[in-house]
Amino acid sequence: MKVEPEMTIEGLQPGPPEAPEEPPKIAMFDYPMAELGALVSGALGQSITPAEFRALEPIDQVYWTPEEFGAVMSDHGFVVQEGQVFEVLHPGQIKSLREVVLVALSKEKAWVMSFDESAGAWKGVGTGDAGKFPSDLNAEFAESERWTIFKYSRRTAEHLAVVPGIEAHWFWSTIWTNRDLYLQSGLAALLTNIFALGVSMFSMIVYNRVIPSNAMDSLLVLVSGMLLLMIVDYVVRTVRNSFLSVAGVDSDLSLADKLFAQVLDLQYKSRNGTVGALANTLKEFEHIREFFASATLVSLIDVPFAFIFLTAIYLVGGYMVIPVVVGILVMLTVTMYIQPRMKALAKHSFEDGQTKHSVMVESLTGLETLKLLGAGGFMRRRLREVLERQADISEQTKDGTHLSTNVAQTMQQMVQMSVVATGAILVAGGEFGFGAIIAATILSGKAIAPFAQMSQLLVRLNQIGVSYEALKELMSQPIEHPQQRSFLPRNQFKGSVEFKDVTFTYPGQQEPVLQNVSFRVEPGERVAILGHVGSGKTTIGRLIAGLYEADSGMVLVDGVDIRQIAPSDLRENLGISTQDVWLMSTSIEENISLGAVDSTAEQVLWAGDLAGVSEFANRHPDGYKLKLRERGESLSGGQRQAISLARALVRKPPVLILDEPTSSMDARSEQTFVARFQKAKFESTLILITHRTSLLSFVDRVVIMEYGKIAGMGTTEQFQRAQTDRKAAAEIVKNAVSAQAGKSPASSASKSDANMAAPEGNA
């Protein structure tokens, strides 16, 4: 698809709308979804980079529908409206034209238009390779192909919203979006409750009118009317359930997507607790989903309409309403009395659920270690302790529920008895007929029914409340791509990396991991970072990737503070192989191309050959299509590391960060990789984090880390001489002191030269 070049459009005339049609999947080879999204957001003054779309959005980058694109833009805070072609394009149909961008989508083209007030016409946004922006849209849109026009505008400021605090809220916005369905469900509930009055009225009329006068013809008419009413009631109930089901499914999908997107975009420092606890928090969404899809919501909607029945009882039976009101008050009193205890139990149950989930996740992920160490009993004890607490909480919850339920059942019986007794007194006094007792009895059952279910309803509401608070805390955590912040797109990186007086401490720790670290890596330069265990080597790679922010100082890429660069843009230009290799349960090919959505089969094979993946993939019948087990457990450590290396290399990024890239390989595999890498003649900047001197053959310079500080710095040749030459070792120390001059206390040159030499232990 092409976004046509800038040209104004004049003389737009409204025309007859075309019939709606299912939009086809669109192949946008010139402007994939990410580029088109960046174009639209930029035209509206909110720069969202293509890399951000590629990193965060779940839809296919090449084949997608206009509706999917609209959903993506809505997720990023834009108001999206679909309209008829000529109605939307006519300037008189749109208010605040300066804040509107139109996107016209067909099978082969995409036109992005903004309104030029000086020219009084729409003009194209962006550039295109072929064709001209048509001066006669009437003729263009009259073609046989279907066009879909979407209007995009910036979301209204929160203080100008119809309901401030609701429309942009992560939870309530889904309810607001489906407000029409919920309002119609409420209207349907009103009708069904009014219809429910029919049976009691029918009974009263039959007892008071039909039986005394033996009016069988009237009875036939009444029965016919009641049958019709029951049919209508059935239809209304079915429609109500359908409305709630549709709204529930939509809310379910929307909320689940928002929650998972939040987790994927969380800042690394925001991760609280264990993976199991986080997974359990996400699991709490099930309580909210079940609530929207269950009869509990119907019962909750019916509660306010109990007053309709109370009013009807008063009109039909006068003082017969008193026992019903008293019964409802007693049930509410008991329910409210046990409510604080039930709420506390729900919270404790949630906390124990997190612990249980953590134990189970730890056990499953570390099952091999538990078996080898014979530590299964230890994990069983941990799980049993949690289960015993949960069982105790469950029993206490059941006791409270049973108390409320038993009181409700007893009160229902007492209310019916009291209504009949009160009615008998009133009938004996000649105030009402016998039919009033029957009608009041039926109505009392309907009035008290929602309150009889109040205990079960409150148990569910407590669970939902605890779940909501847990999810609310999750959604309040800072993310990497907040809507209120935009970044300038930086698609091309030269590859320079610089640390300026960087100090960093991991969240929850007191001692800094890095202290006043300063060094610079030029574009295309290859630098090795050496150090003992805990010296801060891996942390340097994490800071460059933007997983954490420095406490003080600056990390710069191409001379720009990385806090000014969108994290997705930054990481799209980094190739990173970490110590802890994580593989998905999918094919080798998909594991290598993970995140590189535009990678070709040739690029995957090239990266696989260079990293050594082809050595074992070519020997299997499925080759690169071989399906791996979870975390790549079917492969050896060296094979997993080879896939991780291929993943880092596949995009040929400007900056490569290899953290212990061959730690799991044997000597022959390591030598083969080094030889291939040197032969490849990469132009990328390389930051090699290692403790192995055997890998230094393809680096230009060495930085030695010790206890979070730079203890030595020099060329590879200087470092190798320093192993045996104390003078060369002192020169390396002097280089480090020069690099840190004026930023941190210099390391004493008299310090043992052995500390400056390469570490021999495993880092």
Mean pLDDT calculated for residue range 512-538? 90
Q: What is the pLDDT of residue 657?
A: 93
Domain segments of the chain as ranges: 8-155, 174-475, 580-652
What span, in angstroms and rounded, lies between the C-alpha atoms of 730 and 725?
A: 9
- pLDDT exceeds 60 at position 647: yes
The first and second tokens of residue 342, run together, are 């039930």
- pLDDT exceeds 80 at position 41: no
Q: What is the DSSP string of 586-629?
A: SBHHHHHTTT-TT--HHHHHHHHHHHT-HHHHTTSTTGGGPBPP
**Amino acid, res. 36:** L
Q: Which of 7-11, 216-220, 297-301 has the highest mean pLDDT?
A: 216-220
Q: What is the DSSP string of 553-583?
A: EEEEETTEEGGGS-HHHHHHTEEEE-SS---
- pLDDT exceeds 60 at position 3: no
Whether the full predicted model's pTM is greater than 0.75, yes or no, is: no
Q: What is the pLDDT of residue 111?
A: 62
Q: What is the pLDDT of residues 380-423, one digit of tens each?
A: 888 888 888 888 888 888 888 888 888 888 888 898 899 889 88
Supply the DSSP symbol for 660. Answer: S
What span, in angstroms and rounded, lies between the C-alpha atoms of 185 and 54?
A: 39
Q: What is the pLDDT of residue 15?
A: 40
Q: How many C-beta atoms surround the C-beta of residue 164 within 10 A?
A: 12
Select from 23, 44, 203 the least CA-distant residue to 112.
44
Q: What is the pLDDT of residue 746?
A: 36
Compute φ and ψ for 479, nearest 5 degrees: -115, 170
The first and second tokens of residue 489, run together, are 């797109």
For residue 763, the surrounding DSSP H or E stretch is none
Q: How far, in whole angstroms, is CA 705 from its chain's centroid?
A: 38
Per the model's pLDDT, the better-predicted residue between 661 and 130 turns out to be 661
Phi-psi region of 374 (alpha: psi -120 to 50; beta: other; left: phi over 0): left
Q: What is the pLDDT of residue 364?
A: 84
Q: How far is CA 304 from CA 13, 95, 298, 449, 451, in A?
A: 52, 40, 11, 12, 10
Per the model's pLDDT, the better-predicted residue between 116 and 398 turns out to be 398
For the domain made up of 174-475, give the CATH fold: ABC transporter transmembrane region fold (1.20.1560)
What span, in angstroms and rounded, lies between the C-alpha atoms of 419 and 200?
A: 14
Q: What is the pLDDT of residues 586-616, one digit of tens each?
A: 889 888 988 887 788 888 999 999 988 998 8
User: What are the percentages of helix, strand and coil residues in the chain, rounded to 5?
Assistant: 55, 15, 30
Per the model's pLDDT, the better-predicted residue between 726 and 678 turns out to be 678
Select from 637, 680, 675 the least CA-distant residue to 656.
680
Q: What is the pLDDT of residue 116?
A: 65
Q: What is the pLDDT of residue 731?
A: 65
- pLDDT exceeds 70 at position 666: yes
Q: What angle is formed at CA 504 by the lines to CA 501 and CA 509, rounded to 5 degrees?
A: 155
Q: How many C-beta atoms surround the C-beta of residue 117 within 10 A?
A: 10
Q: Residue 555's pLDDT band (boundaries 50, 70, 90)?
A: very high
Select from 687, 699, 694 the least CA-distant residue to 670.
694
Among 99-108, 566-575, 578-587, the range scoring the smallest mean pLDDT is: 99-108
- pLDDT exceeds 60 at position 66: yes
Q: What is the pLDDT of residue 557?
A: 93
Q: What is the pLDDT of residue 91?
A: 46
The first and second tokens of residue 422, run together, are 């009160």
Among 57-66, 159-168, 169-178, 295-304, the range scoring the smallest mean pLDDT is: 159-168
- pLDDT exceeds 60 at position 149: no
Q: What is the pLDDT of residue 93?
A: 47
Q: Which of 69-73, 226-230, 239-243 has the highest mean pLDDT?
A: 226-230
Q: Residue 553's pLDDT band (boundaries 50, 70, 90)?
A: very high
Rg (CA), the chain: 35
Q: Residue 162's pLDDT band (boundaries 50, 70, 90)?
A: low
Mean per-residue pLDDT of the chain: 77
For residue 143, the surrounding DSSP H or E stretch is none
Q: Which of 133-137, 655-659, 688-692, 706-710 has the highest mean pLDDT?
A: 655-659
Mean pLDDT calculated for residue range 217-246? 88
What span, in angstroms and rounded, lies between the C-alpha atoms of 450 and 439?
A: 18
Close Cβ partners of 448 (under 8 Å, ≥ 6 residues apart): 306, 324, 327, 328, 331, 411, 412, 415
**Amino acid, res. 472:** K
What span, in angstroms and rounded, lies between the C-alpha atoms of 710 and 535?
A: 9
Is 174-475 in the same CATH topology as 8-155?
A: no
- Domain spanning 580-652: which CATH class is it, in words? alpha beta
- pLDDT exceeds 70 at position 25: no
Among 167-176, 610-619, 652-661, the range scoring the smallest mean pLDDT is: 167-176
Q: Residue 103's pLDDT band (boundaries 50, 70, 90)?
A: low
Architecture of the domain delimited by 8-155: Alpha-Beta Complex (3.90)
Close Cβ partners of 541 (under 8 Å, ≥ 6 residues apart): 576, 578, 657, 659, 687, 689
Q: What is the pLDDT of residues 350-377, one digit of tens each?
A: 888 888 888 888 888 788 888 888 888 8
Mean pLDDT calculated for residue range 734-742? 61
For residue 707, the surrounding DSSP H or E stretch is none
Per the model's pLDDT, the better-predicted residue between 586 and 739 turns out to be 586
